[in-house]
Amino acid sequence: MLAFQPLSRRCCQGISRRALLRVGALGLGGMTLADLLSAKAAAGNGVARDDISVILVWLDGGPPQHETYDPKPDQPAEVRGPLGAMATKVPGILVSELLPEHARVMDRMAILRSVHHDNDDHFAAAHWMLTGYLGSNAVNLAPQYPSMGSVVAKLKGPRRAGLPPYVGLPNTHSVGLSPGYHGGAYLGRAYDPFRADGDPNQPGYGAADLQLPADLTIARLEDRRLLLRAFDQVERQVEAHAEERDAFAHEAFRLLTSQEAKRAFQVDREEPRLRDRYGRHTWGQSCLVARRLVEAGVRFVTVTFSGWDWHSSLEKGMRNVLPVLDRAVATLVDDLDQRGMLSTTLVIVMGEFGRTPRMNTAGVPGQDPIPGRDHWGRLMSVLMAGGGVVGGQTIGSSDPRGASPRELPITPKDLVASIYQRLGIDAETSFYDRLMRPITVVAQGGRPIPGLFA
């Protein structure tokens, strides 16, 4: 078991750390670039390392399993829903009729059809899926446990120096306070995602926190660094970790004055035809940016797609969002594969829960009377590809109505355990929470999913 003792609140959580290189737009929501880059410090803690990156496509709101990855074409209309099913490249595997591109690349994807956690609250469910721990609900919105991205950032760091380990886009939030359950919780703000919010489909998109203010030149930034260094000569006498912090500040300065990180966000450098394949919209271009980021050396990227909470007008909603998701995800898999990156990039598509097995009859009373599906944590589907995933298979199965697992029930902690195992992270690694209790990165009882990885 690998346990990390808290050095002090000053060092671990940065509460009293003096701002470094704080230059207007570089605030990162109250956190300096030096704080952010210090997330790399924990890399190399004796945990097995490899070159795997992760792209999490987070479907915020709860996508319906029947209309996506677990259709039930033989059930009555109130169960099967308004959409038909489509055969895929893999005999016996069906997906929604609105996912023809998924069907084409199904040999490189695996569908987990028996994921469940039995919670119907957006807040608690999102927290559970993103952290592996139940901890927050509509009463308590604050994240209590660190997200997978934050744990990976702390334990693995970026794959290449000079880049943040963990990035979120295009709208870095989930239910809860921003960055919501995508954040570092008790690991500290240094392990929150680097926020690259905005619309990559719009001209001039880039990571604003990497841009210098118009009135700040590189020369002036160097002057500020020299001034900070002078003050640090005094602080160094009383702060044990000053030398380590200075290294972070140096790297932050290098990041600001180089073009490598900025270039990774410049989606307009891509071939127009490839951009067209992803789709000229926020979701498609965000997936393209995610590929550019992992190609540059970022370890974990979360791409948040909101708009999946269809209590009414389900058919209209699915016809709006599924074709967009279809092209974005399938093109991402193709693009990674063609670049020789699919084996080292794990792609995950999921939301916080599934939807009810039976369509409601009234939609939203008083608002939209057209039927939809309500919250349902008892069953959901998760799509995975790349990173060693054995494609062309379904793992686990649901009952005939798509209401509960039939074979191989999979919990959020099992999913987290599988991802960490693939990245070489020991499930028994623990950190101290805010109450100074040792908490393992995988909740007790979480086990890797059999047959998922080669």
Whole-number Cα distances in Å, 289 to 26, 60, 256:
21, 19, 19
Q: What is the model's pLDDT at position 149?
A: 98
What would the pLDDT profile of 426-435 be if each residue is shown by its tens digit? Answer: 999 999 999 9
Q: What is the model's pLDDT at position 177?
A: 60
Q: What is the model's pLDDT at position 412?
A: 98
Percent of residues, the chain, with pLDDT higher than 90? 67
Residue 204 has which token pair? 């001039």
Total number of domains in the chain: 1
386 lies in some domain: yes
Q: What is the average per-residue pLDDT within 162-176?
A: 84
Q: What is the model's pLDDT at position 221?
A: 44
Q: What is the model's pLDDT at position 19?
A: 31
- Mean pLDDT lowest for which of 9-23, 163-177, 193-207? 9-23
Q: Determine which helix (DSSP H) or strand (DSSP E) holds 255, and give its type and residue range.
A: helix 242-257
35 lies in some domain: yes
Its domain, for residue 270, covers 3-440
445 lies in some domain: no
381 lies in some domain: yes
Name the residue among 244, 228, 193 with its Cα closest to residue 31: 193
Report d(CA 301, CA 421) in Å as an integer: 18
Q: What is the model's pLDDT at position 108?
A: 98
| Contact of 318 with 324, CB cutoff 8 Å | no
194 lies in some domain: yes
- Inform me whether the pLDDT recorded for 17 exceeds 50: no
Q: What is the average per-residue pLDDT within 202-226?
A: 59
Name the residue among 404, 383, 386 with its Cα closest to residue 394: 383
| Contact of 70 with 380, CB cutoff 8 Å | no
Question: Strand pairing of 430-432 and 405-407?
Answer: unpaired
296 lies in some domain: yes
446 lies in some domain: no
Which CATH number covers residue 149?
Answer: 3.40.720.10
Instruction: Say which amino acid occupies 382.
Output: V
What would the pLDDT profile of 78-115 be if each residue is shown by its tens digit? Answer: 999 999 999 999 999 999 999 999 999 999 999 999 99
453 lies in some domain: no
- Inform me whether the pLDDT recorded for 274 exceeds 80: yes
Question: Strand pairing of 3-4 and 430-432?
Answer: parallel
